[in-house]
Chains A and B, each alone.
Chain A
Amino acid sequence: MVNRTPVIAIIGAGIAGLEAARQLNDLGYKPILIEKAPVTGGHVAEWNRLFPDMSPAADLVQSLESQTAKVRTMTGTEIASINRLKDGYSLILSDGETLVCEAVLFATGFHLFDASKKEEYGYGIYEKVITNRDLEQWFNTRHDPRIGHPKAVGFVHCVGSRDVKAGNTQCSKVCCITAIKQAIEIKEEFPEAEVYCFYMDLRLFGKKYEDFYIKAQRDCGIHFIRGRVSEVGEAIDGRVVVKAEDTLSGKPVKVTLDLLVLMAGIICNSDAQHYAQQVGVAVDDDGFLKSRDNVGAIVESSRPGIFFAGACTGAKTVPETLAEARSAALAIHRYFSKRG
């Protein structure tokens, strides 16, 4: 094992995996991408335009894919088991192949919360209730009979996030800005529509995000209502009736909508937990993989040779994910440089 180019198995070929593979390849290592889905790009491949610049998501994915064209990429491949060796790991893949590598990078990303679990919001029950993912897909395909020509549209923040009842107390971090982005896009698409955002707190932390908020308010006249939607019902004409408290005026509010978009949150990917157990890395209270240190070593696990990048350790934006992927590649480089 000593004299060969170190092989690094990257689990997951979302943007984190792709970017790390690109960097590791440039640094002279041999990254191998193992992707369970039939295509690479992960969640970003499902999105349409990305905040904050509204750049096409497909461009980013294509650029990462073309820059990793030389990296061995196994799509449609799962990992049956991972075993620790003396100074590396062996992965048994779903096609029967055994892959021996010197380091493993988890880039397994997140799962989107299954919005039908919040039954009171009626996803999967009422026709006019969709999710953030459905809306991104509609922006891409323009095909979704539920959408039509809405005159009143609502967005529900924090669906499955910050919610003990849903089993996720963490904030998903990207859904406030995604809601505002999508609200603006809906308003641009249907200028006559009244658009409402129901929020508990607006958490708009990133560069240019506040500009989105001001744009949503001033240019688009989107109504922001501070109050968590308590329940959704269906009116006789198939529209949906939303109830909440307007906590700023202390009064209950009710509104009938043609479309309700649920901002499903970012939750941990249970696959990653399963592998983590096999190699002996810790899982955090929120179910995400546990970094060695949440300040100085996010991309490192507590085990030598196991690294993390992207949303497998918690909700991340695209630029954060890419930065972490580069950082993980450097951490891996340092690991091998020290090992000699």
Chain B
Amino acid sequence: MDFGFKLNPSSAVNLDTVDRARYDRLVQLEPDALTCIGCGSCSATCTAAPWSGMSVRKVILGLQRGQDDEVDSMLSRCMLCGKCTMVCPRGINTRHLILTLCRLNRKGEIVR
């Protein structure tokens, strides 16, 4: 039925129900991902970021907040150049993390 207006869906993240399956699997395979401090060095140095919105920081955070669409769209922009790995202060192998993530589906199963 058309009421002539619509409600915007809430942008709030409900941590009670958020599905972290892919994140949980990722950190099993890449435990260092847990130590991300959200400093943004990876995104700042990324050659693809200014044009594509790629950000390893946002990928790691997005996985924890159930933002799968955004995560997948960002991942598709990565050139795997590895520049981000060189700057991460926590020593996270971000390039490898991206590769591992590309092998997982949204349920966290290894599909590739």
A274 interface residue per 8 A CB criterion: no
A256 and B34 contact, CB distance less than 8 A: no
- How far does the alpha carbon of A256 sit from the alpha carbon of B16 in the complex, in Å? 6
A249 and B12 contact, CB distance less than 8 A: no
A338 interface residue per 8 A CB criterion: no
A249 and B16 contact, CB distance less than 8 A: no
- In this complex, which of A214, A217, A252, A256 has the most chain B Cβ atoms within 10 angstroms of its Cβ? A217
A114 interface residue per 8 A CB criterion: no
A251 and B12 contact, CB distance less than 8 A: yes
A218 and B61 contact, CB distance less than 8 A: no
Given A251-B12, A254-B16; A217-B35 close (CB under 8 Å): yes
Q: Which residue of A lies closest to B27 (CB)?
A: A221
- How far does the alpha carbon of A147 sit from the alpha carbon of B92 in the complex, in Å? 36
Taken residue by residue from 13 to 36, chain B's Cβ proximity to chain A (1 for < 8 Å, 0 otherwise) reads as 111100000000001000110111
A72 interface residue per 8 A CB criterion: no
B13 and A218 contact, CB distance less than 8 A: no
Q: Which residue of A lies closest to B62 (CB)?
A: A249
Taken residue by residue from 36 to 73, chain B's Cβ proximity to chain A (1 for < 8 Å, 0 otherwise) reads as 10100000000000000000011001101101000000
A248 interface residue per 8 A CB criterion: yes
- How far does the alpha carbon of A252 sit from the alpha carbon of B38 in the complex, in Å? 17
B16 and A252 contact, CB distance less than 8 A: no
Q: How large is the interface on B (under 10, 10 to 19, 20 to 34, 35 or more residues)?
A: 20 to 34
> B residues within 8 A CB of A251?
11-13, 65
A246 interface residue per 8 A CB criterion: yes
> A residues within 8 A CB of B32?
218
- How far does the alpha carbon of A329 sit from the alpha carbon of B14 in the complex, in Å? 55
- How far does the alpha carbon of A221 sit from the alpha carbon of B11 in the complex, in Å? 25
B11 and A252 contact, CB distance less than 8 A: yes
Chain B nearest CB from A31 CB (Å) reads 46
Chain B nearest CB from A303 CB (Å) reads 45
A223 interface residue per 8 A CB criterion: yes
- Interface SS of chain A: strand
B67 and A255 contact, CB distance less than 8 A: no
- How far does the alpha carbon of A254 sit from the alpha carbon of B8 in the complex, in Å? 18
B27 and A249 contact, CB distance less than 8 A: no
Given A251-B11, A253-B12, A256-B16; A246-B34 close (CB under 8 Å): no
Other-chain contact of A249, B34, B35, B36, B65 (Cβ < 8 Å): B65
B13 and A252 contact, CB distance less than 8 A: yes
- How far does the alpha carbon of A254 sit from the alpha carbon of B34 in the complex, in Å? 21
Given A214-B35, A218-B31; A223-B64 close (CB under 8 Å): yes
Chain B nearest CB from A71 CB (Å) reads 46
> B residues within 8 A CB of A223?
15, 64
Q: Which residue of B lies closest to A243 (CB)?
A: B12
> A residues within 8 A CB of B64?
223
- How far does the alpha carbon of A196 sit from the alpha carbon of B13 in the complex, in Å? 14
B13 and A249 contact, CB distance less than 8 A: yes
Given A217-B34, A223-B64; A255-B16 close (CB under 8 Å): yes
- How far does the alpha carbon of A256 sit from the alpha carbon of B35 in the complex, in Å? 24
Given A217-B34, A218-B35; A246-B14 close (CB under 8 Å): no
Selected A-B contacts with CB under 8 Å, 10 pairs? A214-B35, A214-B90, A217-B35, A217-B36, A218-B35, A248-B61, A249-B61, A249-B62, A252-B11, A253-B12
Chain B residues with a Cβ under 8 A of chain A: 11-16, 27, 31-32, 34-36, 38, 57-58, 61-62, 64-65, 67, 90
Having A218-B31, A248-B57, A256-B16, one finds 18 other A-B pairs with CB under 8 Å, namely: A214-B35, A218-B32, A218-B35, A221-B34, A226-B38, A246-B61, A248-B38, A248-B61, A249-B65, A249-B67, A251-B12, A251-B65, A253-B12, A253-B13, A253-B15, A253-B65, A255-B14, A255-B16
